[in-house]
Amino acid sequence: MNYLSIEPFIPSGHDFAKSKQLFQELGFKIEWDGEDLVGFQNGNCKFILQKYDNKAFAENLMLSVKVADINEFWKDVSKKNLSERFGIQPIGQPIEQPYGKEVNIIDIAGVCWHFIEEPA
**Domain boundaries, position 18:** 9-117
pLDDT of residue 120: 78
98-120 confidence digits (pLDDT tens): 999 999 999 999 999 999 999 87
In the structure, what pLDDT confidence band is assigned to residue 2 with cuts at 50, 70 and 90? very high
Q: Is 10 helix (H, G, I), strand (E, B) or coil?
A: strand
Q: Which of 32, 23, 10 is nearest to 88 (CA)?
A: 23
CATH classification of the domain holding 49? 3.10.180.10
26-47 confidence digits (pLDDT tens): 999 999 999 999 999 999 999 9
46-97 confidence digits (pLDDT tens): 999 999 999 999 999 999 999 999 999 999 999 999 999 999 999 999 999 9
Domain count, the chain: 1
pTM: 0.94
Is 1 domain-assigned?
A: no
